[in-house]
Structure 1
Amino acid sequence: MATLVLGAIGTLVGGPLGGAIGATLGRGLDREIIGNGRREGPRLTELAVSTSSYGQPIPGLYGRVRVPGSVIWASDLAERRETSGGGKGRPKTTSYSYSVSLAVALSSRPIERVGRIWADGHLLRGAAGDLKTGGSLRVHRGHADQPADPLLVAELGARCPAFRGCAYVVFEDLALEDFGNRVPALSFEVIAGSATGVAGEIARTHGFDAVAAPAAELEGYIHDGGSAAATLTHLARLTPLGVRWTPDGPQLASVDLESEAPITLSDPVVAPEGDFGRMAGIERTRATLIEPISALRYYDSARSYQPGLQRAPGEAGGGAVLELPGVLNATNARALLMRTRLRERWQSDTLSLRIAALDPKVGPGSIVRVPDHPGLWQVTAWEWREIGIELDLQRHATATPVAAAADSGAAWDPPDRQAVGSLLRAFELPWDGTGPDGQPQRFAAVGAPDGRWAGAALYHLRDGALIPLGESGPDRAVGGRLLAPLAPSRGLRFEPAAGLHLRLDHEAPTFEPATTTALAQGANRFLVGEEIIQFARCEALGEGEWRLFGLLRGRGGTEHHALVGHSAGTPATALDERLWALPGDVEFDANSRLATIGHADDEPVYATLEGSGSTRRPLSPVHPRQRYPREGGLELSWTRRARGGWHWLNEVEQPLVEQDEIYEIGIGEPAKPERIWTSDQPRFDLSAASLADVAAAHPGQPVWVRQSGSYARSLPLLLTHLPSTI
């Protein structure tokens, strides 16, 4: 009323502009006096966390939705302790991990299955049903005959309920390492049939007769308490619902014009003076929408069910925001909003009509035609009176398609990667010159193919028992295998044209070229088989395939492996900071192995130590020389190398790493020498008589030298062959 009065006064005083200002002031006054006409229904909430509040309602779920659930049972935190290390002055390390078991109620009606599960915003369970951390999951779908969960029975005994009619999940021994050793905030993707007929389902649940009332756009719906009337009234704003009168009583149904043709009402009846319509028997009015709907909030299926908001075109702000606890995509949400706005604008056009007779098929909710008033009208109320049947009608908007393109916007979704098993390679490297020269430098290359992998536990297998060594961490070692054979090489010079062709176990690593200075400082090292190789250039071929060019072969005293070459399929591992250093006091023998167990490993992954003894083994001497003096005999000499002495500094003698400088000079096979001598300097002389004796006894046999170190002997260096005749 204030809108009409102030609008009229404003027009008299200030013309059209004054009328607009007066109407605006009047609408504000009307809103304060009689309210804004807003109808409250179910609310849409932000993604909450699982709680255990007593008396909290458990929602009924329809279609595909995401809910936090309610914790209905939980165990105490279970602590697991594991000790590794110790021995030979090395301290023991004790690590603690925690797990919990809990049951979470999801739906007050049966469901089909549980899809993804989020924990602290990250995926705890993927679309394929794989848990991303340790533990197990059982889903109880809420049927009337479901048995009690075995874990709850074991904990609660005879008092354990089966929660029949309630869908819930049970986590058993859920590992908490990834969540700071606390129970994370959980939310669940639940699939519970279809949500298109949710209005009919809710009506039938509360004892009303209902036929299909489809809402094709609705992908999911959360009925979180509240009365059935409030919920259905709320849904009717989005998808028109009506009451169809049948011989058995009223029936809830969608307004379907195509099921039967609209009935045309009879002409209006004249009324006594004082009633509406007077001599015409009909009165038409148009109500003012004080606060029309300008936006729709919903759960966006394209954003992992995060709340979304769609605004009507031209409505930057103001107006009412309709909240729908349902799942839609952006396009359907905007189309639904625009259809609702159009329908409510049409429904503001009302008729009051008096007729003498009424077709029995017409009742509240019926769609009819009115003489001399075009369009379709819906009966909202009727009343029998002596002077006739009085009907209240509102304009009916036909369900015309609305083109409403929309975008959900950018959203971050946690990656859903399948868990992959661990890969393991263990090896010992030549001493690099750092740390104690007698401590073996052993490493484990722990990695995995492409996929989800958070590291693995390392163990030493000894006498059938797994002795824990520690955790590898999430950084994967870079490794793969040769795709093509690598030719033998003497390993004496830089080979710019030589190359490695290999495929890595996972695609993430990248390589960088290196200068000669960087190569001299140890850059770009690979262990191929048991040969250490450096590369200067690299070329990525895609899908984890690489070509590495410009090779330095036989590095670190591994030239004897370069002389053999490598076949396709030979393992190759990058020697960098991603390797896991094995404790030096762990004893390896012929029966010892290394093992690793990751989250996706059903059985331990084993590896035998490669290159055992490489750290302590002296390097083979080099630069063999022989001389036959005029007076007869044989003079042999060589150059000593030292473990860790890789730079060959000018005018500086190689350091003596071994306890003593001792060489063995032998004749015949090194494994079973015919004769052997020792020397404390890098030379050995045979007199003419001695040479004649050994040549006669072992004609044509090889003469070699090897260094005898503090822990082992070096590989032999061929010096010469004895003459067949003297």
Structure 2
Amino acid sequence: MATVIFSALGQVVGGPVGAALGALVGRQVDGAVLSGGTREGPRLRDLALTTSGYGEPVPRCFGRMRVGGSIIWAADLRETRATHGGGKGRPAQTTFSYAASFAVALSSRPLAGLGRIWADGSLLRGAAGDLKAGGQLRFHAGHGDQLPDPLIAAAEDPDACPAFRGLAYVVFEDLPLGDFGNRLPALSFEVFGPETALDLSLLVDEPSAPPAPAVPLTGLAGLMQEGPAAELLGLLGRLVPYACDVTTDPLRLRSAPGAARPLPEAAAPGAGRQEEGGQGWGGLGGSAAVVRRQGGAAVVPLGALQYHDVERDYQAGLQRAPRQPGAGQPGVLSAPLAMAAPVARQWVAAAAQREVWAARSLVWRTAVIDPQLMPGAIARVPGEPGLWRVAEWEWQAAGVELTLSRLPDPALAAALDAPDGGADPGRGALARDQAAGPTTLAAFELPWEGPAGRAAGSLYVAAASAAAGWSGAALYAVDRDGGLELIGSSGRRPATLGTAVDALPPASSLLPDRASQVTVALLGPDTVLAEATGVRLAQGANRALLGDEIIQFARAEPLGAGRWQLSGLLRGRGGTEAAAAGHAVGERFVLLDDSLLVLDGTLAATADRIAAIGLVDPEPVTSAVALRGIGARPLAPVHPRARALADGALALSWTRRARGAWRWADEADVPLHEEAERYAVELGAGAVPLARWEVGAPALTLSAETVRQLRGPWRGAPLQVRQLGAAGPSWPTLLIYLD
């Protein structure tokens, strides 16, 4: 269009010379606009990483836990440019991929190990330590002698590079971001503390202090402390009965004491109990007075515990306590604890029962001071059944006022400490931890489908793996020197690949093959083959490449262990009837469906071998390109006819077929799709024919003299015909045996 416009303008301005110059300029404009240039795909405009702010707390992790982490260092994104396709007037496509290198802090105390990693809810690292994406991962446990990470040391000033001692962190190096929308994914990490059994005293222990008494957290898998220890201790105080000793330095925690101490008895005559509001104190000789106080509507009972369920990848779980009688709406306690559902149900049920009993309280006023009756101590109240715990201790002018809360009956407490096996954790959408495996590759051409289909000579690639965690592979063209040139990616969807367990017998492509059957072993044991009706077969369903022959199958019977028996066959589809007689055990099987990758471009059109490199492939996996040129070569002629004439001559004829014309819809002659119509009639089946004739029509008549001369030395030799094309001759078609 620009050529016409500029030529007309030049004609107006400068006559014939101006028209010629205008046409030249217009052709350059058309070439710039319409030629097969290079098209660039989407590209990130902002290469800045998401950063974390100063002052964000890094949690202390104990036992098994799942944490989000905080980014503490990041490098610039690395951009990689790749150009695919192009040639023969088609534009090349330039794509951009990005990789990130960054460090994430996990715990402000040392860790023993790193487990799974989730990225946007999917597993990025499995339980076996396998990274399910490219790049490298390094874990630093956080000990006091750890060295700087080599990547951070190379990027920063070596003299000022932090080692982050005392901080457990991981470093991602060149993590590909393509699967996450070219952004940093939301990461979470499974971490393991050095403890084999958790103890509440870990929260308050100091390195210089003597060992604290054990307060075991039975059944707890892990916990996380993000704020002050007092907050977490206060939360755990509702779930775990423990005593806090503030008379020592540092603070000491201990389990509920075993021996109960009796409270001082009233000694003076007339001393005794008073109702609530009474002001009486016993004499200095050890007399005492007690005021009863019953908890009521002000008490909010514990009704449920929200926790991290270890059986559901640490997702939030909720276990409810049996409903207790009394007023008040049950409350929900959210705790950064990792445990199983039976443990959580047992903990919340026992805590709720303890709170119901603890709502019954007594205030005991005494002038006798017993240093053992400190908060947390267990006491027996004269005239009251059961055991009581000292909740508060208050010094007053006339003596000491003790507030005591009722403890559950010992038999009931033992029953509450038993795990609840009937707890249901519920179902969760858990990420599947599937290991990656080596890549299996097959590369081939297919017959041309016609003007509405792919270009002739397109290269098809089938890539898969027997491992369910296979995530695709990068594809390369192998040059003559063994070098690799990137031409694309296989994608994550595996193709249906396998091998033949037995050899398929020869059969004609002219009729359905109802007698033959073949067993194939598929690469993936979970892969399923479907059956097809005659109508669907006519529409192209269930096409497969077996060896070098394209077949279709109507029935597929599973035999177990990934084996399938195929029958109801259509043979030699797409002009591959010449390969129907050469099958062998172990030859490749490829289902021709939409899981195949089509590679265009100059490299794909000229390469004789294709290589694939997957995530766990130690070396490139290569495949020779099968059926090379089948999409461009003419098809073998059909309907051969030979007729002896009265004078002894031999009249030969045949019918031409056309590439891409698989359906005879209009009953007209099929298109030629070649530069000229030419045929070669050859005598003999060897690579070098005994005699050869070229004709421009689908017929040839050999004179009687020629027939007589040929029968002499070569009686019984076959006469064959091939159609000639720009990409080479077709497969031969037998016309007659010379006799």
TM-score (norm 2): 0.82
User: Aligned with 2:295: secondary structure?
Assistant: coil
2:179 equivalent to 1:178: yes
Cα–Cα, structure 1 residues 159 and 682, in superposed 2: closer, same or farther, change >3 Å? Answer: same
Farther off after superposition, 630-639 or 113-122: 630-639
Match of 1:190, SS state, is strand
Deviates more, 1:90-99 or 1:191-200: 191-200
Match of 2:722 among 678, 703, 706: 706
> In structure 1, what residue type is equivalent to 2:88?
K
Where 1:130 maps in the other structure, the secondary structure is coil
Structure 2: state its 5+ residue gaps.
1-48, 272-278
Please say if residues 65 and 221 of structure 1, whose CA atoms lie closer than 8 Å, have aligned partners that are also in contact: yes
**Structure 2 counterpart of 1:215, which letter?**
L
Q: How does 1:561-640 map to 2 (within 5 A)?
A: 561-564=579-582, 566-583=583-600, 585-586=602-603, 592-640=608-656
CA distance change for structure 1 residues 317 and 503 in 2, over 3 Å: closer, same or farther? farther
- The equivalent of 1:232 in structure 2 is 233
Match of 2:293 in 1: 286
Distance 1:373 1:436 in 2: 93
**Relative to 1, partners in 2 of residues 1:652 and 1:324: Cα closer, same or farther, differing over 3 Å?**
closer
1:666 is paired with a residue whose SS is strand
Structure 2 match to 1:400: 414
Report 1:59-208 matches (<5 A).
59-157=59-157, 158-194=159-195, 196-205=197-206, 207=209
Aligned match of 1:683 in 699, 712, 727? 699
User: How far, CA to CA, are the matches of 1:686 and 1:197 in structure 2?
Assistant: 99
Query: What is the alpha-carbon distance in structure 2 between the residues aligned to residue 517 and residue 388 of structure 1?
Result: 100
Give the drift of 1:247: 11
Q: Secondary structure at the match of 2:156?
A: helix
User: Does the 8 Å contact 2:293/2:363 carry over to 1?
Assistant: no
Match in the other structure for 1:39: none
Match of 1:3 in 2: none
Question: More displaced, 673-682 or 162-171?
Answer: 673-682
**Residue of structure 2 equivalent to 1:220:** 222
CA distance in 1, matches of 2:197, 2:226: 17
> Is residue 306 of structure 1 aligned with residue 315 of structure 2?
yes
Q: Secondary structure at the match of 1:487?
A: coil
Contact 2:204-2:252 at 8 Å conserved across structures: no
Taking a change above 3 Å as real, the CA distance of residues 162 and 672 of structure 1, as seen in their structure-2 partners, is same
Residue identity opposite 2:717 in structure 1? Q
Matched, 1:58 2:58: yes
CA RMSD of aligned residues (A): 3.4
CA shift, 1:64, in A, is: 0.9
The Cα of 1:486 is off from its aligned counterpart by 1.3
Amino acid of the structure 1 residue aligned with 2:590:
T
Q: Which moved more, 1:58-67 or 1:125-134?
A: 125-134
Greater displacement, 319-328 / 81-90: 319-328
Q: Which residue of 1 aligns with 2:501?
A: 483
**Which amino acid counterpart does residue 719 of structure 1 have in structure 2?**
L
- What are the superposed Cα offsets for residues 102-146 of structure 1, whole Å, 9 maximum, x if unpaired? 111111111111111122222222222222222211111111111
Query: Contact 1:111–1:142 (CA<8 Å) still a contact in 2?
Result: yes
| SS of 1:373 mapped into structure 2 | coil
Which residue is 1:692 aligned to?
708
Residue in 1 that maps onto 2:468: 451
Structure 1 Cα separation of the partners of residues 265 and 348 of structure 2: 36
Change (3 A) 1:127 1:688: same
1:365 to 376, 382, 385: 376
**Inter-partner Cα distance in structure 2 for 1:247 and 1:494:** 93
CA contact under 8 A between 1:442 and 1:584: conserved in structure 2? no
**1:21-32 → structure 2 map (5 Å cutoff):** none
The question of whether the paired residues in 1 share the 8 Å contact of 2:440 and 2:465 is answered with yes
Match of 1:269 among 239, 260, 267: 267
Structure 1 unaligned regions, length at least 5: 1-48
Q: Is the 8 A contact 2:610 2:625 kept in 1?
A: yes
- Name the stretch that deviates more: 231-240 or 365-374: 365-374
SS in 2 for 1:212: coil
1:351-397 per-residue CA deviation (whole Å, 9 max, x = no partner) reads 45577988886655333434433222334566899999875543233
User: Which residue is equivalent to 1:656?
Assistant: 672
Q: 2: distance between equivalents of 1:385 and 1:659? A: 115
Q: Distance in 1 between matches of 2:548 and 2:81?
A: 37
Q: In the alignment, is the contact (CA less than 8 A) between 1:429 and 1:615 conserved in 2?
A: yes
Deviates more, 1:159-168 or 1:487-496: 487-496
Cα gap change, 1:320 to 1:458, in 2 (>3 Å):
same
CA–CA distance in 2 between the matches of 1:192 and 1:288?
Answer: 41
The match for 1:515 is 533
Bigger Cα displacement from structure 2, 605-614 vs 317-326: 317-326
Q: Which moved more, 1:301-310 or 1:63-72?
A: 301-310
2:443 to 426, 433, 437: 426
Q: Determine the structure 2 residue equivalent to 1:210.
A: 212
Q: In 2 relative to 1, CA 285–708 (structure 1 residues): closer, same or farther, beyond 3 Å?
A: same
**Residue number in structure 1 paired with 2:27:** none
Match of 2:571 among 531, 539, 553: 553
Segment of structure 1 superposing worse, 283-292 or 566-575 = 283-292
Contact 1:663 1:708 (8 Å CA) reproduced: yes
* CA displacement, residues 8-38 of structure 1 (integer Å, 9 cap, x when unaligned): xxxxxxxxxxxxxxxxxxxxxxxxxxxxxxx
Match of 1:322 among 310, 329, 333: 333
1:706 and 1:458 map into 2 onto residues whose CA distance is 36
Distance 1:372 1:510 in 2: 77
- Which residue identity does 2:686 align to in structure 1? P
Amino acid at match of 1:456: A
- Relative to structure 1, the CA distance from residue 68 to residue 50 in structure 2 (aligned partners, 3 Å threshold; closer, same or farther) is farther
Look up the SS of the partner of 2:387 in the other structure.
strand
Deviation at 1:216, TM superposition (A): 0.4
Q: In 2, Cα distance between the equivalents of 1:574 and 1:184?
A: 35
Task: Say whether the 8 Å CA contact 1:286–1:348 is kept in structure 2.
Answer: no
1:715 aligned partner: 731
Q: TM-score when scaled to structure 1? A: 0.83
- Could you report, residue by residue, the CA deviation over 1:489-532 in whole angstroms, capped at 9, with x for unpaired residues? 12221123433322322356544433333323322211111101
2:509 corresponds to which letter in structure 1? G
Alignment-mate amino acid for residue 220 of structure 1: G
> What do residues 466-501 of structure 1 show as CA deviations (whole Å, max 9, x unaligned)?
222223333322221222321121222112343332
Residue 204 of structure 1 aligns to a residue whose secondary structure is coil
Q: Distance in 2 between matches of 1:437 and 1:473?
A: 19
Q: Which amino acid aligns with 1:686?
A: L
* 2:661 match: secondary structure: coil
**Secondary structure of 2:346 counterpart:** helix
Structure 1 range deviating more: 624-633 or 115-124 = 624-633
Query: What is residue 472 of structure 1 aligned with on the other side?
Result: 490
Q: Is the 8 A contact 1:221 1:326 kept in 2?
A: yes
Q: Percent identity?
A: 44
* TM superposition shift of 1:613: 2.0
SS in 1 for 2:267: coil
Pairwise CA distance, 1:83:
1.4
